[in-house]
Structure 1
Amino acid sequence: MTHRLASPWVDLLLPLSLSGLLWERSGNPAGMVLILAIWCGFKFLRWLPAEPVYGVLIGVLVVSLSAVIHPISGSAPTDLILVLLAFAAGLQQSKAQWRGGLWLVLATVIVSLPFVEFDRFNSNLEAIPWSVLRDALPQEAVRIQKITINRSGYLYGLFALVGYGLYRAEVLPWLRRLAAVVGVLSFVLALGAASRAAFLFPIAALIVTELCWWNRYWVARRATSLAVTVLILALVFNLTLYWPGSPMVAQEPSDIGRSQVAQCFVSRSLRSLPEFLVGQGYDRVSHHCAGKVFLPGRTSGIPHAHNVFLHALADQGLMTLSLMLVAVSLVFQRLFSGLAGDAGSLCRTGLACALFILASSLVESTLLKTSLQQVISGYLLAIAWVSPRASKQENFRTIGS
């Protein structure tokens, strides 16, 4: 019974979770969260007979569920817990399981279409050089119902890279074409979300991933040093972006606001050694900085750091931030190393997604509040731990069939 509940088709719950938006309550998509929790629970049930610790994870999921559905603040402990639970749900999946899972993740693009809404002007249209095409497209930005524009763009950018990975990996021509069509559709929706990160970062992630793939044996031999290099480049990028007086943000009021709120988060985190080490609790720094930094024409301040790592530093302290950086480094180390291995094609998809997740985390609150975003991100990061062979349970079913 456990095997049937935990079959690869359980990943169908990921795209179907959007149907929970039909029962949305007071702006809080409880239906979507419940479906995502059921998905995670079924994933854990698969390993429960052999690994009792998965029963503990099921307990953590159930205990956290109420706080996810009824959050008391903008950020909460359940944000990173959901990411970690989804990550655990994807651990040690075989290549065949990941292939089916990625197709079902990509199906979310199609399921999301009835929930697409339009909001403010889409400034990304200015990147299209042909005025005829530019004028023919909707001028408003795309969003998935109550999910914000930036987070909707993040999801579509991530799905576009999943489509790219399936296009590169599939052998059957009709499956390759299907992956390409849905992937391109997702990228168009990301472009339509008015998020510069959702438009530019998938392209950058794809270019870097292809360069690594063409030189995969060289990359695999230097996996550890390259993983450290990725983190150093991320730090340099953030310093360039958020350093006071940076020329990169001098022209855009929104970029200036993000830079100022990032500086506020850092200065607030450094007030005392205990707060620097263990954080100041959820939303305290956010509320303080939102009262200090205002964009032109806005009556409310920026409510978060627009940076996952700075937000973790403020809320949870240096200890949590250090663990996050170690985890990110391990993900990239395993993906770089895996490019030359038996699951190289899958690691190529995982690397593209991981690069996009990291880059987006440097400029957006990608892991805050939106459960679908948290679950999909954590799940895809688990590709780095793809099982090199079929599990014992799978072998048993094959022998007995």
Structure 2
Amino acid sequence: MPAGEEGRRGVPLSDRQRLNWLRLIRSDNVGPATFRDLINHFGSAETAIEQLPELSRRGGSARSIRVASVEEAERELEAAEKFGAVFIGIGEPDYPPALRRIDGAPPLLAAIGDLALATRAAVGIVGSRNASVSGAKMAARMARELGTAGYVIVSGFARGIDAAAHRASLESGTIAALAGGLDQPYPPENKELYKGICAGNGLAISEMPMGWEPRARDFPRRNRLIAGIGLGLVVIEAAQRSGSLITARRAADFGRLVFAVPGSPLDPRAAGANGLLKDGAILTTESRDVIDALAPSSRFFGDDEPLFEEPDSDGNDPFAEPRDDDRTRVIEALGPSPAETDDIIRHTGVAAQTVYLVLLELDLAGRLHRHPGGMVSLAFETD
């Protein structure tokens, strides 16, 4: 039995903190990394919200930044409550422990269903939407056997392999990561499956607002949730260019084990999984391959995941504006190629806290791109 089912660590948010966290993450140009930097610098979401317009102006924004209002956040909280969902903060006990470890973990997750599933050790299963009969059968068998071994199955609620894995693991525990809002599950043919998940036989999660209809660019964000929640990822039938391979790359970036089920070289649906095997993925023909490989990491699951919470007191002085020459040196050090923040600090000789604040200003002004691994680059305007 995987470890971690007992150990729920974290500090609950107050109602006021939850409201302000939602306002902050729903404001313009505030992504997960920016959210974390703002909290670390200003000490609370409430203080950070007050500073957003000034930070954006200092970063060179040509227009006023949109800050989510109290009324907007209250409406979203009310809509979630009416739907039967809750918002879980990254430092709270019900937040998935493995997800806390990834770069750019969402500060808030909307969730509906059995919250206890979020804190158990999980394995991702993904694959082709246009699955073959044998592929769907393999996904179902793998999901059932991993569930019997104590793992929760996490997938992306797509048709094909995802749906087969969810259905087979409803009794043992399944987590569906959605690309849209919890009230906008996609695709529509999985409606009955979604009812079963929401009724408490599973758990559905999303970082998108209630009412949000999923778009193409939302699915890669969804994929990182699957990769981050699971201790490992099993790929069954994936084409050369597919979301499953994006999920596999993210899982590898997060230090997760990637498993691939081989398929016929004549079936284009197997080309992606076979390619993963050539690149070093673990050859998988039965659930025991996954269980044995994950045993060491499962033993220590959840023991040392980092917690994130608002400090007891405010952080740095929110009104300590960087000097113009410091800001200039940081901006000149940036370019279109991603750079590590530590390298920028060494190159410019500017104090670390000042560099982080300048990067926040640029980010909120829409002039900074953030990349995996904490790297940043300057966003150049095009004519």
With normalisation by structure 2, the TM-score equals 0.28
Q: Please identify which structure carries the higher helix content.
A: 1
Between structures 1 and 2, the one with greater strand share = 2
TM-score normalised to the size of structure 1? 0.27
